[in-house]
Amino acid sequence: MTPFTEKVIDIIRNIPPGKVMTYGQIAGLAGSPRAARQVVRILHSMSRAHKLPWHRVVNAKGAIAIQDDESYNEQWMSLEAEGVKVGLHGVIDLEKYLWEPEGDGRSL
C-alpha cells in the first residue's frame, strides 16, 4: 500500500459522524491535491476491507456523487441517520457539515 493510500484511509477513518469531507479535500490533506479520482478509487476498492465510513465523502459541490440508485440511497440514509441534512438532488450544506481537521490534517 502506498503512503498516499494509507493517509487517505486514515483521513476517512477519522471523519466524525455528522460531518463530511470532499474527495479533493482528502486528496489535498493526503499530499496530492489533484488526486481526487484516486480517493474515489481507494474508497471503491478498500471501503469494506478497512470498514471506512465511505458515506461521509461527497464531491466538491457537496453532492452525493454515486450514480447507482441503491448505493446513492444508502449514502443518503446513512448521512441522515447521523444528523446530516441532505437537500434537494442529494446536496449537503458544506458550510454546515464540512469537517476540516485542525491544522494541516497531518495529526490524524
Q: What is the pLDDT along the chain (108 residues), one digit of tens a residue?
A: 899 999 999 999 999 999 999 999 999 999 999 999 999 999 999 999 999 999 999 999 999 998 889 999 999 999 999 999 999 889 999 999 999 997 655 545
Indicate the pTM of the whole model: 0.90
Q: What are the start-end ranges of the H helices in 1-108?
A: 3-13, 23-29, 36-50, 69-81, 94-97
| Class (C level, CATH) for 3-97 | mainly alpha
- At 77, list the grid cell: 440514509
> What are the boundaries of each domain within the chain?
3-97
